[in-house]
Structure 1
């Protein structure tokens, strides 16, 4: 269902824009997310005042496990089908991702597929063209607006993930994910008291969430652009460290189906190392990686161009090309097309077409 063909979506979208962020009508999902978000942040603020080495250790271990549940399970496996693993292992890894408090797999994968399909256009769910705040977290609190942007006939339709909606496990998580999170919070409180709750739920979830949001905001704003893409995605090493490899975002937007995001030996990508380990013990198969020919075809003339910090290094766009001095209103989307240049040419459609998210014809398979 396309954005432009759906008159109902366009009407809802225009109504949302006119209402603004705060004055619009808030539905029950948006209100729930706001209160959940505030509650988790209040817990995180309390954590430093309840210093407890046991709680900190539990939080760190859970941070690694639940983050990998998102990066391995939600992202590289379910969204991009970068590799295959047995169904029982898939469900375990994805279930760990549920406890990152980034909602359920059906929602997460649907949003991310739309991001790649409509990257940095008005249909992109968290386009940076609506501002840093919106791309970082503002989009989370307007469920109806995000659905209308993507052209869904109603919020909660998720028409682009039929393969997940067909599986009972993912339907179950979609309707119950919040209760799994609440159950974990209760268990942590029973085991270690409020300090465990503050560190292993509050501080951990706040860290995971904002690190993930950095990929949408920071990694579309600051960093290096070694590849020819039509968007502003960048490789940001600090975001990559915090997200176990997800911050090599220009790499990812160039080769979205690649199981490896840190394509250079020095690019830290813990998620890829885990996938390699699973392959070594025979659990991961059909691993997709870009070929050397793919890399050569899409490489920029300067492999370390930063279009924002060193505009003289490239004939590509500058900051003002993307964000004009006369800013658009908070909800009306106005876009400036980047100038032609070596850092703005789009890859071939095999990487960016909607079908490329679902087919198996990508680069090299191990």
Structure 2
């Protein structure tokens, strides 16, 4: 079978930068050495590229999970060119196709179903005519954004200016131009590329699926450390319009923290969040499905399946009651006309519902563990 033609620009770019990073950087480190200024500047540049992709390209433009001030958008646009991952318009068009047709080998531009290499980098090395190409019809909203379109029109010279200009400027400041070109120029670019590529590849094969098994995306806390919080990919693929990826306070998601912090100074706004009850219901459905799979081969399977279904429906009802009363409590707190005795009574009801839900959750967890 004839292979798709190579895209030589991409092949040469990835090959040359990888060789320099793998050979030139260690050689320079051993023979001459890098100072703290070069190392710190490279880490900052790497973070700038990564956050421009995750907070800008991904959560702002591809998914519209929040609004951003034009100043912040300009910063993202320049950082995205520095990251050298195509224009925000093209990147977002590809990514929206990926979400719409995830794991579809004929339509998903970087489908994990075609293997790790393909989803990681292979899809960019050959011109695969059998894969759906973005025609920008799915990013008409971004075509109305003057900053996105300015970056798209001027993408080539922006990538040259940032990828050579920023390391060169840093080299002049530090007095070590070659060292900065190697470290903040080449090594930073290679690491930035592969950290992002891990989301298309590694995040679809390594990790857990607490929310859905309808696609290959996984949650992986370790991967989140090198992808600025994007490692919670199973959550993202079912709740793509949430500005968060790591929803727990302890989950490493610096992109979420940055967006939230920026909202305090009015640089971001309209942060979209999936209701807590929808998230909990998705987790509960997955627990039910796995518990049902565990008991199907047992001798008393039919009885256990009925028990699981019954307990699931009880817990779901408790959950719905709890979140209903919680919403009412929040609305009541905003109503300054509510009498104090009513507020106390309502809070007592809320705590009672919460206690019943926790008891039911504990009972459910014991049942699920027993059939595992």
TM-score by length of structure 1 reads 0.71
CA distance in 2, matches of 1:116, 1:215: 13
Specify which structure has the higher proportion of helix: 2
Say which structure, 1 or 2, has more relative contact order (CA 8 Å, 6+ apart): 1
Give per-residue Cα distances to partners, 1:52-94, cap 9 Å, x unaligned. Answer: 1222221111011111000000000001111112223212223
CA distance in 1, matches of 2:138, 2:16: 31
Q: Which residue of structure 1 lines up, in the alignment, with residue 236 of structure 2?
A: 252
Give per-residue Cα distances to partners, 1:290-333, cap 9 Å, x unaligned. Answer: 11121122114677x9xxxxxx98839xxxxxxxxxxxxxxxxx
The count of corresponding residues between Structure 1 and Structure 2 is 281
8 A contact 1:229–1:253 mirrored in 2 = no
Alignment root-mean-square deviation, CA: 2.3
CA distance in 2, matches of 1:58, 1:113: 33
Q: Give 1:275 shift.
A: 0.7
Q: Which residue of structure 2 lines up, in the alignment, with residue 141 of structure 1?
A: 125
Equivalent of 2:152, from 154, 171, 174? 174
8 A contact 2:77–2:148 mirrored in 1 = no
CA distance in 2, matches of 1:206, 1:58: 16
Q: Which residue of structure 1 lines up, in the alignment, with residue 87 of structure 2?
A: 104
Give per-residue Cα distances to partners, 1:33-70, cap 9 Å, x unaligned. Answer: 11121222133121122231222221111011111000
Q: Give 1:237 shift.
A: 1.2
Q: Secondary structure at the match of 1:126?
A: coil
8 A contact 2:207–2:219 mirrored in 1 = yes
Equivalent of 1:184, from 162, 177, 185? 162
8 A contact 2:229–2:252 mirrored in 1 = yes
8 A contact 2:85–2:91 mirrored in 1 = yes
Q: Which residue of structure 2 lines up, in the alignment, with residue 25 of structure 1?
A: 5
Compare 238-247 and 171-180 and name the one that shifted more. Answer: 171-180
Counterparts in 2 of 1:57-136, with a 5 A limit? 57-122=40-105, 123-136=107-120
8 A contact 1:278–1:284 mirrored in 2 = yes
Equivalent of 2:11, from 19, 23, 34? 34
CA distance in 2, matches of 1:160, 1:301: 31
8 A contact 1:261–1:269 mirrored in 2 = yes
CA distance in 2, matches of 1:168, 1:254: 30
Compare 286-295 and 39-48 and name the one that shifted more. Answer: 39-48
CA distance in 2, matches of 1:134, 1:314: 34
Specify every segment of 5 or more residues in structure 1 that has no aligned partner in the other structure, as ranges: 1-17, 306-311, 317-341, 343-366
Q: Which residue of structure 2 lines up, in the alignment, with residue 163 of structure 1?
A: 141
Q: Secondary structure at the match of 1:19?
A: coil
Equivalent of 1:52, from 26, 34, 46? 34
Q: Give 1:96 shift.
A: 1.1
Q: Give 1:151 shift.
A: 5.5
8 A contact 1:40–1:201 mirrored in 2 = no
Equivalent of 2:273, from 273, 289, 303? 289
8 A contact 1:251–1:261 mirrored in 2 = yes
8 A contact 1:219–1:239 mirrored in 2 = yes
Q: Secondary structure at the match of 1:172?
A: helix
Larger radius of gyration: 2
Q: Secondary structure at the match of 1:242?
A: coil
Give per-residue Cα distances to partners, 1:150-200, cap 9 Å, x unaligned. Answer: 255xxxx32211222334433332243232222234332362322111111
- Cα 1:106–1:247 change in 2 (3 A) is same
CA distance in 2, matches of 1:314, 1:173: 51
Equivalent of 1:150, from 120, 129, 132? 132
8 A contact 1:55–1:200 mirrored in 2 = yes
TM-score by length of structure 2 reads 0.70
